[in-house]
Amino acid sequence: MTAEKLKIALVAHDACKPALVEWAKTHADFLENVEIFATGTTGGKLQDSNPNFSVHRFKSGPLGGDQQIGAMICEGKLDALIFFIDPLSPMPHDVDVKALTRLAIVYDLPMASSAATANFIVEGLS
């Protein structure tokens, strides 16, 4: 019997999508062996950057993707959340972002909001 793959959500605001893609390339050896769950555009960019990634794409964040990932957190179906948040841009769907990060805290899910903290999560799960 094989061990179940880790399940990690990767999300990024528009201005942070390139940084998340670059971070993912740096950690491709790790991410090629996990199931990635991502909001729409972010998931497409990740899949385009590495066809070996197993990316399950949800709706765009403002169209419900954040809530879909939140539901996975509530159901205990994720091992970590990596959400590159842009602190310098206005967020019209700020309530969705707060709800998602709140759920990660409530359910004690490892969560990173930058490359530096995401590196710690990868090191801890490797």
66 is catalytic: yes
Per the CB < 8 A criterion, the answer to whether 57 and 44 are in contact is yes
Distance (Å, whole) CA 105 – CA 58 = 21
Burial 13-42 (b: 16+ CB within 10 A, else e): beebbeebbebbeebeebbeebbbbbbbeb
Other beta carbons within 10 Å of 64 = 16
Distance (Å, whole) CA 65 – CA 11 = 9
76: left (phi over 0), alpha (psi -120 to 50) or beta: left
Q: Which of 66, 79, 86, 94 is catalytic?
A: 66
Query: Could you give the residue numbers annotated as active site?
Result: 66
